[in-house]
Amino acid sequence: MASGYKQIEEKWQKRWQAERLQISEADERPKFMIIFAYPGVTGYLHVGHMRGYTYADAISRFKRMDGHNVLFPVGTHATGNGAISLASRVASRDPDTVDYLLRNGCPEESLKLLETPEGVVDFFNDVYVNDYWKRFGFLCDWRRFTSSIRPDYNRFIQWQFRKLMDEGLLIQKPYYAPACVECGPVAVDASETDLSKGGNAEINEYTLLKFRCGDEYLIAATLRPETVFGQTNFWVNPEVEYVRVKVDGEIWVLSEPASRKLVHQIDDVDIMDKIPGRDLLGRMCEAPMIKREIPVLPALFCDPNVGTGLVTSVPSDAPDDLIALRQLQRDPEWMRSLGMDPSIADIEVISIIDIDGYGPCAAADIVDRLGIEDGNDPRLLEAKKQVYKDGHHQGRMNSNCGAYQGLKVEEAKLRMRDDMLNSGEARMFYDLSEEVVCRCGKPVMIRRVDDQWFIDYGDADLTSRTKEHCRTMDIFPTEYHNNVQGVLDWFRERACVRQGNWLGTRFPFDDNWIIEAISDSTLYPVYYLISPYANDGRILPEHMTESFFDFVILGKGESADVSKETGVSEEVLVRIRDDITYWYPLDLNLGGKEHMTVHFPAFLFNHQAIMPEHGLPRGIFVNWYITGKKGKISKSKGGAQPIPGAAEKFGVDSLRLYYSHVASPFADVEWDEDIVVSYRLRIEKVMRMVDELRTLDGEEEGVADFWILSRLSRHIQSTRAHMDSFDLRQLANVVYFDIPNDLRWYLRRGGRCKSTARTVIDSWLRMMCPITPHSAEEAWESFGGEGLISNADYPVSMGTDASSELAESYLRDVLEDINEIVRVTGMAPTKLHLYTAPEWKSKVSEMAVLMAREGNLSIPALTKSAMQDEAVRVHGKAASEFAKKTAQDTMRRSPAELERLSAPMDENSLLQQAKSFIEDEFGCNVAVHSADSESIHDPQSKAKAAAPLRPAIYLE
């Protein structure tokens, strides 16, 4: 069976191609332009990635059927070093890499191609387009395909940056970034594309504190500059050899590794000589800010690779310092052996920060609470984290902290740091939290970049204009519509260029820089309107000058002038310009949730900065992920299998329906093959039902036909309404679940009408087409539908028939009641009596509904007006009881329900009509009585229980 899918899929994909369905050209129709955020070319994708892409295709197919001229272009983002590093791993035939490639279906002979970055990009561009998107039946305009490292794209990006410069949004300032001492800038990230070690490292911002000690300075590195008022002593590791370096005419003492890092961050650092830690012990040094002399004491925990290898001691708030100090005080022999007088360690802890839930010295508190005595106790790390966290967020500087008293720790930290920086007592120093090693084997360090370019997303005017525009956009989920306002505020300057091993566009103002990945993927949707002309050679990269883009994108200048300058024919220029005015703005940009705080804000800002008002994007749709158990797509469950393999195994339409329906797009879903299989079964079931409908050959239309046609119209209306907010899940729910359920009822009710069946099939298949186009085409063909269903119109409601829908739901209610009685009594009835309510009860109900709608329904009011009616009053006590009950019931109804209750219905004739149906259902004779009639058969006097819309039932 599974192989059958592939044939059908290929058959229809070829037909679509042959009939040029995917070609989008401007015309008279309203347009709809949709993209998904193009993926980075980083290797093979897994089945989870297809979720968002599938939404985009299904939405675009719906829009196409709904009368829009749809443009759905795709491309890839190759900027960065992913391809470079993959190529180098292939070139060296790294076994893991080769295995990964082959396992995912890479032909052995392609490995050669993958040895260059360009080869990697070409190869995967092909995989994405053919094995993923075309394989899934997407109707994309493939002529427009582009990739961010193509020369024409590069020209576009350079233009974008010139525009940003014109707007004053490119700024330069110093920046501290990781770099290999040999290869230059590298990316420190968990995937370790550039690295052989340390991908999880973070950049720590240390404050270097200078302690005057004779004519030199001991340099301590701290992450907590706000604790200087608690300094009691200085720690040096007696077993480490430190170095003296000359900085700005001063002599600094710090660890040798620190000195090697420092040269990348501070100019003119001269390394002079070495000095054993022992030689520093016992000296006094002057602590910064507080200008107090404190002693230099020995501690083995000072690591030369962390910070400067020298530590200032704040035992009140640093558990390490406290433990070291206590150990020292317990062990005078060690001090003597180092030639020191133990009394020098008689030190009082100074309390500086008040934290709720802690005593005056947080470090002592937590260390004592946990019973930590030894510096090697593994719990010390935990204690440290806890104290820092609590101190940082809840702490307040106390009366020992001079001018900073009363400040929150968070605030004091920045102020005290800045004050010390200004007074020359401190310098900044950046370091990685763990050892990071480049692929080349050399260490990675933080390097100061003086002239780093940034895009100034912090610009107040740009931010407020962008926020304003976002309020007018369609942004889904609606939570993000609100949230994006905050995200835009939070977005600040972003380093937009980098040096080193990196694929991308050269920075137009300085050839040494290459534009980084987030910055060259913001305005690109508009480039899909130019790319086809570049792809077929009508324009060449060298034609793409500033005035070219100014003309086609911004409409600046005259076509004749631009033609003369660029050498592009006027006709082509005008056509591109016309295309852009027709297709832009982008109607929907669809991307995964990771884009919410990265790509979408940049996308919005760049459009706002560069494009005129009418070019600003109209919509954003964010989709969540398909995950595996515990966050990874599990190999054993097959999720990690290649996408083409999943397509083969389950069928493309099954996967498309799975993505569309399995959950709200705004929630992560755990991948589970069994669920995909159940969607495959669902499609099969639906198709069987279509087949069954096709065999119907009845001539007459009956109540069931009126009913199903009304239901169909209702479903058409509701799916159209749902798709206004791109709610594919609701569409899928109606088409693949609600409609089959209704059809089951139709058949059960004896519906056999050929013309009804044809109407239903015709509409129903069209409704399937956005999500399961291959199956829909196949069934459409068997049905004898005209042309391609993918090219057909989405059905239009023929109008609903409320009374027939009410009648059927009434009948279902009656059936349900009978059923329940049968079940509860355990009877197998031989005869079934139904008694509809007498006329006078209907009168009372009508009165109640009327009074409720006018808002003056109450028990006495209803009773009173009911009793004024002669026909009611003759029923005496029964009448007043019924009025009371009816009033109570009706008062609780919502307006919508009152509406329903007020619709007229002849229950008796309805039941008479359905008599044979009910007889078939229960396999017994049915008699329908009106409680009004005289001398009815009613041995257990059930008839008196009859109420409007609730006939009494008696089983024999």
Region 520-539 residues binding RNA, contact defined as CB under 7 A:
none
Residue from 368, 737, 802, 830 touching RNA (CB under 7 A): that is 737
User: How far apart are CB 891 and RNA at their closest, in Å?
Assistant: 7
From CA 416, how far away is CA 420, in angstroms rounded? 6
Radius of gyration over every alpha carbon of the chain, rounded to an integer in angstroms? 38
Minimum distance between the CB of residue 857 and RNA, rounded to whole angstroms?
A: 11
By CB under 7 A, tell whether 728 contacts RNA: no
Burial track 209-228 (b if 16+ CB lie within 10 A, e otherwise): bbbbbeebbbbbbbebbbbb
Q: Is 874 in the site for RNA (CB under 7 A)?
A: no
Task: Say whether residue 597 binds RNA (CB under 7 A).
Answer: yes
- What angle, 0 to 180 degrees and rounded to 10, lies between the N-to-C axes of helices 754-768 and 673-694? 150
Q: Does 222 bind RNA (CB under 7 A)?
A: yes
| Shortest distance, position 364 Cβ to RNA, whole Å | 16
One of 14, 492, 632, 685 touching RNA (CB under 7 A): 685
Shortest CA distance to 190 belongs to which of 181, 180, 201?
A: 201
The DSSP string of 292-326 is EEEEEEE-TT--TTSTTS-EEE-TTT-HHHHHHHH
945 scored as a contact of RNA (CB under 7 A): yes
**Interface with RNA in residues 403-462 (CB under 7 A):** 413, 433
**How far separated are the first and last CA of the chain, in Å rounded?**
51
We find the least distance from the C-beta atom of residue 399 to RNA, in angstroms, to be 22
How do the residues of the chain divide into helix, strand and coil, expressed in percent and rounded to 5?
50, 15, 35
| Preceding omega of 315 cis (within 30 degrees of 0) | no
Nearer to RNA, 46 or 543 (CB): 46
The stretch near RNA (CB under 7 A) out of 20-28, 182-190, 537-545, 885-893 is 885-893
* Residue closest to 663 by CA, chosen among 477, 807, 531, 844: 477
**Taking the complex as a whole, how short is the minimal distance between the CB of residue 492 and RNA, in angstroms?**
10
Helix axes 82-91 and 95-103, enclosed angle (nearest 10): 110
Q: How many helices (H) and strands (E) would you count in the chain?
A: 35, 32
662 binds RNA (CB under 7 A): yes
Among residues 143, 384, 465, 754, the one that binds RNA under rule CB under 7 A:
384
Of 35-43, 271-279, 351-359, 382-390, the window that binds RNA (rule: CB under 7 A) is 382-390
Q: Which of 96, 267, 613, 674 binds RNA (CB under 7 A)?
A: 674
* Smallest distance from RNA to CB 831, Å: 10
- Residue 724 binds RNA, judged by CB under 7 A: no
Q: Does position 664 bind RNA by CB under 7 A?
A: yes
Are 462 and 169 in contact by the 8 Å Cβ rule? The answer is yes
Count residues binding RNA (CB under 7 A): 82
Pick from 17, 733, 755, 782 the residue near RNA by CB under 7 A: 733
- 447, β-bridge pairs: 177
What residues from 451 to 490 belong to the interface with RNA (CB under 7 A)? 479, 482-483, 486
Q: Contact with RNA (CB under 7 A): which of 741, 858, 902, 933? A: 741
Binding of residue 952 to RNA (CB under 7 A): yes
Task: Write out the binding residues for RNA, residues 832-871 only, by CB under 7 A.
Answer: none
Alpha-helical segments (H) within 725-801: 728-733, 739-748, 754-768, 773-783
Contacts of RNA in 254-293 (CB under 7 A): none
Nearest one of 257, 410, 229 to 314, comparing CA atoms: 229
Closest distance to RNA from the beta carbon of 955 (Å)? 4
Q: What is the DSSP string of 88-105?
A: HHHHTT-HHHHHHHHHTT
Q: Which of 7, 329, 678, 725 binds RNA (CB under 7 A)?
A: 678
Task: Give strand pairing partners of 885.
Answer: none
Give the span between the Cα atoms of 748 and 924, in whole angstroms: 17
Burial class of residue 345, CB neighbours in 10 A (0-12, 13-18, 19+): buried
Contact region with RNA (CB under 7 A), list: 70-78, 101-109, 908-916, 947-955: 947-955
* Closest CB to RNA among residues 304, 585: 304
d(CA 22, CA 26): 13
Return the residues of window 560-589 that contact RNA according to CB under 7 A.
none
Four-CA torsion 520, 525, 527, 529, nearest 10 degrees: 180
Burial track 302-320 (b if 16+ CB lie within 10 A, e otherwise)? bebebbbbbbbbbbbbbbb
356 binds RNA (CB under 7 A): no
Residues 786-815 that bind RNA (CB under 7 A): 814-815
Residue 664 DSSP symbol: -
Residues 744-783 that bind RNA (CB under 7 A): 744-745, 748
Mask for 199-218, x = binds RNA (CB under 7 A): ---x-xxx------------
Residue 537 Cβ, how far from RNA at the closest point, in Å? 42
Comparing CB distances to RNA, the nearer of 318 and 643 is 318
Stretch that binds RNA, among 222-230, 549-557, 840-848, 857-865 (CB under 7 A): 222-230
Helix (H, G, I), strand (E, B) or coil at 752: coil
Which of 631, 784, 860, 923 binds RNA (CB under 7 A)? It is 631
Q: Which is nearer to RNA, 269 or 487 (CB)?
A: 487
Q: C-alpha angle with apex 195: 194 to 200, nearest 5 degrees?
A: 110
CB neighbour class for 39 (10 Å; exposed up to 12, middle 13-18, buried from 19): buried
Among 821, 850, 861, 905, binds RNA (CB under 7 A): 821
| Binding-site member from 291, 614, 823, 877 for RNA (CB under 7 A) | 823
309-348 footprint of RNA as x/- string (CB under 7 A)? x-x------x-x----------------------------
Q: Which stretch binds RNA (CB under 7 A): 164-172, 495-503, 781-789, 821-829?
A: 821-829
Smallest distance from RNA to CB 621, Å:
15
Minimum CB separation from RNA for residue 792, in Å?
A: 26
The Cα diameter of the chain in Å comes to 122
Residue 306 binds RNA, judged by CB under 7 A? yes
Residue whose CB is less far from RNA, 87 or 254: 254
649 binds RNA (CB under 7 A): no
Which position among 90, 669, 687, 852 is part of the footprint of RNA (CB under 7 A)? Answer: 669
Residues 136-195 interacting with RNA (rule: CB under 7 A): none
Minimum distance from CB of 599 to RNA (Å)?
Answer: 12
Q: What would the DSSP string read from start to end of 423-473? A: HTSEEEEEEESS--EETTSPBEEEEEEEEEEEE-TT-HHHHHHHHHHHHTS
Q: Phi/psi zone of residue 788: left (φ > 0), alpha (ψ -120 to 50 degrees), beta?
A: beta
557: left (phi over 0), alpha (psi -120 to 50) or beta: left
The one-character DSSP state at 113 is: G
Binding-site member from 46, 134, 163, 224 for RNA (CB under 7 A): 224
The residue within the footprint of RNA, chosen from 20, 29, 274, 389 (CB under 7 A), is 389
d(CA 296, CA 340): 10
Tell which one of 249, 357, 378, 826 touches RNA (CB under 7 A).
Answer: 826
706 contacts: CB under 8 Å, gap ≥ 6: 801, 804
Least gap, CB of 758 to RNA (angstroms): 21
Question: By C-beta, is 474 or 570 nearer to RNA?
Answer: 474
Q: Give the whole-angstrom CA distance, residue 236 versus residue 683.
A: 73
Residue range at the interface with RNA (CB under 7 A); choices 299-307, 765-773, 848-856, 928-936: 299-307
CB of 395 to RNA, least distance (A): 11
